Amino acid sequence: MINNTSYKVWMTIILTFLFLPSCITEDVPEDSPQGNFEALWQIIDTKYCFLDYKNKEYGLDWDEVYRRYKNRLTGDMTNKQLFQVLAEMLEELRDGHVNLVASHETSQYREWYDSYPANFVDTIQRIYLGKEYAIAGGIKYRILEDNIGYLYYGSFSSSIGESNLDAILDELSICDGLILDVRNNGGGLLTLADRLAARFTNEKRLSGYISYKTGPGHNDFSSPEPIYVEPATDRVRWQKPVAVLTNRRSYSSTNDFVAKMKIMPQAIIIGDKTGGGSGLPFSSELPNGWSVRFSASPMYDPDMQHLEFGIEPDFKVDMTSGDMHKGLDTIIETARKQLKEMIQ
């Protein structure tokens, strides 16, 4: 039989055990080389969406990366030395859209772009634009000599209104085809990318899927949710062939735009593989105030293929040195040729 004293002792032990978890707070890494390293590694381990995918693609072992880079830490290392170690650890991801941001520097996996040809020369593009081009919002446009419209949108951060698009497409409506150049467009607002894409369809179309991170596990994702492109109602829409020009520096919301254009029956993609970087951005702060940012919501095409790592063109074309010496843009010239074949 349990006496009153024993009862009180056991109840104290049981209640302490039951309520202990609620009294424990998650450890916050300290502002030290080790603490900042631990924080960054943990953020990637629990929030980054492509660890399992990259393990299958090229054998990335994030736990092995932890062990290897932890050995490079010292208690007296400078901020510059720490930044170098952390930036090199992030380069193991081989992802041009993962950045470590400090007041003195921003890291970037440059092989993402530098391993590809530029495929855009602004001095040559100016030859095609000439001196008579028009500007509406963030778009430059004109009609080329062969009655092909040329439209350049250099950034989805440059606003373009519905009335701007109405005016542009109405002006170009006499053209037989359209070249829509988004090379070197590093993205911006998804709403502007969607606004432009809506001018190239007459019906609601499935453009792909998106998933969301639901937990810390490498495969903790929600079920894919469909993404649609819907036509711009009561607005001018383009009904004729269109060639979208891309290069490796077409990324972020431009990548989303190209994915939507790729499903349009009258559209072709010409140039180089896009730079990827679709999905919603995520950022988090380290104890020392540095931040890390990356894409946090994987997006897929209608066949459930990842869009994060770029979209292949329908016609892979690089600018040639011979054409450039003549002041010609090989990608624009290919687009003109392909559009003429589509028109016939």
Q: Measured in whole angstroms, how far is the alpha carbon of residue 101 from the centre of its chain? A: 17
- The reply to whether 194 and 316 lie within a common domain is yes
Of 60, 83, 113, the residue that ends a domain is 113
Q: Is residue 211 part of a domain?
A: no
Amino acid at 343: I
- The reply to whether 62 and 141 lie within a common domain is no
User: Residue 186: exposed, middle, or buried by beta-carbon count in 10 A (0-12, 13-18, 19+)?
Assistant: middle
Return the C-alpha torsion angle 227, 231, 235, 238, nearest 10.
Answer: 110
- Residue 27 confidence (pLDDT): 64
d(CA 194, CA 183): 17
Q: Is residue 212 part of a domain?
A: no
Which of 24-33, 93-102, 216-225 is predicted with the least confidence, judged by mean pLDDT? 24-33
- The reply to whether 142 and 87 lie within a common domain is no
- The reply to whether 186 and 161 lie within a common domain is yes
CB-based contact 186:255 (threshold 8 Å):
no
Of 113, 138, 162, the residue that ends a domain is 113
- Residue 1 confidence (pLDDT): 42
d(CA 33, CA 84): 12
Give the residue-averaged pLDDT of 268-281: 90
- The reply to whether 177 and 267 lie within a common domain is yes
- Residue 227 confidence (pLDDT): 95
Q: What is the CATH number of the domain that holds 97?
A: 3.30.750.44
Give the residue-averaged pLDDT of 86-112: 94
Q: Is residue 304 part of a domain?
A: no
Among 66, 23, 22, 11, smallest CA distance to 43 is for 66
- The reply to whether 109 and 82 lie within a common domain is yes
Q: Is residue 17 part of a domain?
A: no
Amino acid at 26: E
Q: Is residue 300 part of a domain?
A: no
- The reply to whether 151 and 131 lie within a common domain is yes
Q: Is residue 266 part of a domain?
A: yes
pTM of the model: 0.86
- Residue 17 confidence (pLDDT): 36
Beta bridge mates, 143 = 149
pLDDT: is 118 or 9 the higher one? 118
- Residue 131 confidence (pLDDT): 93
Of 77, 95, 113, the residue that ends a domain is 113
- The phi, psi pair for 197, rounded to 5°, reads -60, -30
Among 55, 86, 83, 52, smallest CA distance to 69 is for 86
- The reply to whether 153 and 170 lie within a common domain is yes
Calculate what percentage of the chain has a pLDDT beyond 70.
92
Give the residue-averaged pLDDT of 187-204: 96
Residue-number span of the structural domain to which 132 is assigned: 122-202+237-275+310-343
Residue environment code for 257-271, b if the CB has 16+ CB neighbours within 10 A, otherwise e: bbbbbbbbeebbbbb
| In the predicted structure, residue 104 carries a pLDDT above the cut 50 | yes
Per-residue CA distances from 253 to 130, 154, 193, 256, 274 (Å): 28, 12, 6, 5, 11
Q: Is residue 1 part of a domain?
A: no
Q: Measured in whole angstroms, how far is the alpha carbon of residue 282 from the centre of its chain? A: 11
The number of folded domains in the chain is 2
Q: Is residue 191 part of a domain?
A: yes
Q: Where does the pLDDT of residue 127 fall: very low under 50, low under 70, confident under 90, or very high at 90 and above?
A: very high
Among 312, 315, 310, 319, smallest CA distance to 335 is for 315
Q: Where does the pLDDT of residue 5 fall: very low under 50, low under 70, confident under 90, or very high at 90 and above?
A: very low
Give the residue-averaged pLDDT of 79-98: 96
Mean residue pLDDT across the chain: 91
- The reply to whether 89 and 135 lie within a common domain is no
- The reply to whether 172 and 77 lie within a common domain is no
Calculate what percentage of the chain has a pLDDT beyond 90.
84
Per-residue CA distances from 161 to 57, 133, 150, 166, 236 (Å): 41, 19, 19, 9, 13
- The reply to whether 93 and 152 lie within a common domain is no
pLDDT digits (tens, 9 = 90+) for 9-61: 333 433 343 334 433 335 667 999 999 999 999 999 999 999 999 999 899 99
- The reply to whether 254 and 180 lie within a common domain is yes
Give the other-Cβ count within 10 Å of 214's Cβ. 11
Q: What is the CATH number of the domain that holds 162?
A: 3.90.226.10
| In the predicted structure, residue 99 carries a pLDDT above the cut 60 | yes
Return the C-alpha torsion angle 231, 168, 334, 120, nearest 10.
Answer: -110
